[in-house]
């Protein structure tokens, strides 16, 4: 016990073994829904859900172990909800890219990600992006995820009289509404693991009413990784067009900004930020970039720092031991794949909506009283759900930012990096739409 305390520096972090263990359990319970949500979202692309389940569990465990040991941060890593939605709905369904090629795109992006991390380019770019736009990106992803949840749950749908409207309130939609209300109540009561508990109660109601089929078993061996393992590497040659190069760059850019925003927010909550710098941030970035690489080989969409780590941090988690506990629980969780049939889209939809609420909290940091900042932040925010693309929302906001700042005679406050990113995004949109 003393060796663990010394390795993770419990004394200087003002924590102990019991607190760190409870924090790890709390974080896992708060984010375990990703084991069931990720296969459901990626399944829309045609990829095998069972393989994605196992890939998600093992890649998450790997990421948590690396983050815990290397960076000593209580920040867990798993499949990013924003990224899996982009993978399934924007790339595979929207652009009609086969999931095998999309996985190859994630693999290629992760290789670049690792290089950018090793050369500390990521740190420099993160420092160059205005805090307001970082917050807008987090909030915009939240709106995008919430829209997917509302749509998957049947609460909203395409309408012949308008772009979107209230969906048909059938039995399964009422199941979504029930789950949402229960989770909202639990979250408001600050119950640990509220999202997971809400999913469990929703599933029980679905099973009781017959809206969800009864599973034949609860525990089983891990589903095989055979349908997805190594597919990303074997299909790397499929990236042979401008469109697919753009897909790779989009995975890179979206993952880059999504992870950066989450990492900064959690580090701030844990009190790690000193003089506007995050100690050991380089090691934390190595953890998420290497996990993204491993995840792509196993067969899942980009991985990144998980916002639900805030639950463990809130009850005192301050070291990497919290994350080690999360990793161990992810390995154990891989043996509960039969529950995939119970966790339907109506069960996971409330979780997506709630996560949207959590991510939207970042918007409080935007200087809305300064129009030249508020405008690009707002365009970033609404651009993601309205274009149904995270990358397009970021592009629109980053292009707008230097324009409004120059018009407000504040052009000198815009870093050269932001001007460069604006040009890159103009080219990105031109190529994407041509």
Q: What is the mean pLDDT of residues 167-178?
A: 87
Residue 409 pLDDT class (50, 70, 90 cuts)? very high
Residue 434 pLDDT class (50, 70, 90 cuts)? low
What is the domain range of residue 378? 2-433
* Cα 199 → chain centroid: 19
Residue 11 pLDDT class (50, 70, 90 cuts)? confident
Pick from 92-101, 303-312, 420-429 the range whose average pLDDT is largest.
Answer: 92-101
Say if residue 340's pLDDT is above 70: no
The residue ranking higher by pLDDT, 422 or 339, is 422
Q: What is the mean pLDDT of residues 315-319?
A: 87
| Structural domains of the chain, count | 1
Say if residue 60's pLDDT is above 90: yes
| pTM recorded for the entire structure | 0.76
Please tell me the distance from the alpha carbon of residue 264 to that of residue 182, in angstroms, as a whole number.
30
**Which of these, 304, 331, 330, lies nearest to 87 by C-alpha position?**
304
Quickly count: other Cβ atoms within 10 Å of residue 103's Cβ. Answer: 32
Residue 110 pLDDT class (50, 70, 90 cuts)? very high
Q: What is the mean pLDDT of the chain?
A: 87
Region of poorest pLDDT, from 106-110, 146-150, 372-376: 146-150
pLDDT tens profile 276-286 = 677 778 888 89
232 exposed, middle or buried (CB, 10 Å; 0-12, 13-18, 19+)? buried
pLDDT tens profile 125-135 = 777 778 888 78
| Structure tokens given for 298 | 């196993």
pLDDT of 67 reads: 96
Residue 367 pLDDT class (50, 70, 90 cuts)? very high
Say if residue 370's pLDDT is above 90: yes
pLDDT of 308 reads: 78
The residue ranking higher by pLDDT, 434 or 378, is 378
User: What SS3 string covers 243-266?
Assistant: HHHHHHHHHHHHHHHHHHHHHHHH
**Which of these, 62, 29, 50, 52, lies nearest to 220 by C-alpha position?**
50
Say if residue 431's pLDDT is above 70: no
Please tell me the distance from the alpha carbon of residue 40 to that of residue 53, in angstroms, as a whole number.
9
pLDDT of 50 reads: 93
């Amino acid at each position: 016990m003393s060796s663990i305390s010394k390795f993770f520096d419990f004394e200087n972090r003002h924590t102990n073994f019991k607190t760190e263990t409870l924090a790890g359990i709390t974080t896992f319970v708060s984010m375990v829904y990703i084991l069931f949500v990720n296969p459901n979202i990626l399944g829309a692309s045609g990829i095998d859900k069972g393989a994605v389940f196992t890939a998600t569990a093992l890649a998450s465990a790997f990421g948590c172990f690396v983050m815990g040991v290397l960076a000593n941060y209580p920040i867990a890593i798993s499949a990013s909800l924003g990224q899996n939605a982009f993978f399934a709905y924007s790339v595979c369904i929207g652009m009609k890219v086969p999931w095998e090629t999309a996985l190859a795109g994630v693999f290629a992006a992760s290789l670049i990600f690792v290089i950018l991390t090793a050369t500390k380019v990521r740190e420099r770019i993160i420092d160059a992006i205005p805090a307001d736009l970082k917050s807008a990106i987090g909030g915009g992803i939240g709106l995008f995820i919430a829209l997917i949840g509302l749509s998957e749950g049947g609460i909203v749908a395409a309408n012949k009289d308008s772009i979107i409207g209230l969906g048909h309130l059938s039995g399964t939609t009422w199941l979504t509404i029930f789950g949402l209300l229960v989770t909202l109540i639990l979250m408001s009561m600050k119950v640990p693991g509220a999202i997971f508990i809400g999913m469990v109660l929703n599933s029980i109601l679905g099973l009781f009413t017959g809206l969800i089929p009864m599973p034949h078993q609860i525990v089983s061996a891990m589903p095989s990784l055979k349908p997805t393992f190594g597919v990303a590497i074997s299909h790397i040659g499929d990236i042979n067009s401008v469109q697919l190069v753009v897909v790779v760059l989009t995975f890179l850019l979206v993952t880059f900004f999504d992870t950066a925003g989450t990492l900064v927010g959690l580090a701030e909550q844990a009190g790690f930020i000193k003089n506007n710098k995050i100690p050991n941030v380089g090691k934390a970035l190595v953890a998420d970039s290497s996990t993204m690489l491993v995840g792509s080989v196993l067969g899942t969409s980009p991985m990144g720092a998980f916002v639900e780590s805030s639950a463990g941090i809130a009850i005192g988690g301050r070291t990497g031991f919290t994350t080690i506990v999360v990793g161990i629980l992810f390995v154990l969780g891989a043996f509960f794949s039969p529950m995939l049939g119970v966790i339907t889209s109506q069960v996971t939809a409330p979780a997506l909506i709630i996560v949207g609420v959590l991510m939207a909290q970042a918007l409080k940091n935007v200087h809305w009283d300064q129009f030249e900042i508020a405008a690009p932040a707002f365009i970033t925010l609404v651009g993601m759900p309205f274009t149904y693309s995270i990358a397009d929302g970021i592009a629109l906001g980053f292009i707008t930012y230097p324009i409004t700042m120059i018009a407000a005679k504040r052009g000198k406050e815009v870093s050269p990096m932001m001007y460069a990113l604006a040009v890159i995004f103009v080219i990105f949109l031109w190529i994407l739409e041509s």
